[in-house]
Amino acid sequence: MPGDLLRKLADEITAAGKNPQTKVIILKSEGGKAFCAGASFDELISIKNFEEGKKFFSGFALVINAMRKVPQFVIARVQGKAVGGGVGLASAADYTLAVDSASVKLSELALGIGPFVVGPAVERKIGKAAFASLTINASEWHSAEWARQNGLYAQTFSSVEEMDNAIETLTAKLSAGNPDAMHELKKNFWEGTDHWDELLIQRAEISGRLVLSAYTRQAIERFKSLKK
């Protein structure tokens, strides 16, 4: 995901949260393949200095904090694999549904960076031990069932159609519920995260510095050559 799209997404989530007609927010991606492949390699390799790096990684921070702050529940629809920042977005949702093929991977360490910005959201959802496993095994896919067992996915489904039916049923029930009650519950869910505005930007600074290293630039070029 390019930085400008991340900022637009954060703005859209914030705007939806301020709209009194919005009952539930559904986070989904287009197409039938990956839910989110993480950061744009082209944009990563184009980063020339620390400020550019900080700004880029702050994009994921803005989206996660927007999801955290809106009073409505955010439901994530994961119709395919999630990598890096995509795992962070799935983790930042209040309730995440996925198909059986939606495996996950935190590949940042393989690039010499580390999942610093999305780390708090992922660790909050699946716990420190599972987060460490996902982070250290940076080149390995973890199955959707692993993600469900560790709390990242609330439910998994054998098909997109089945998942979408479940989302429709769930959102209909939530839309008919008391928004004040859901807002109070959401505040409870996210208790202890008020410092994330500052924390995630500090994490973006770490990634913004590391992305400038020779190791990371060479690793990104290797990954890009494999995708050609």
For position 46, what pLDDT does the model report? 87
In contact, 45 and 188? CB cutoff 8 Å: no
pLDDT tens per residue, range 132-187 = 999 999 999 999 999 999 999 999 999 999 999 999 999 999 999 999 999 999 99
| 74-78 sheet: strands from edge to edge | 25-27, 74-78, 95-99, 155-157
Pick the CATH number of 3-220 from 3.40.50.970, 3.40.50.460, 3.90.226.10, 3.30.43.10: 3.90.226.10
The whole-angstrom separation of Cα 92 and Cα 124 is: 9
pTM (predicted TM-score): 0.92
Q: Where are the domains of the chain?
A: 3-220
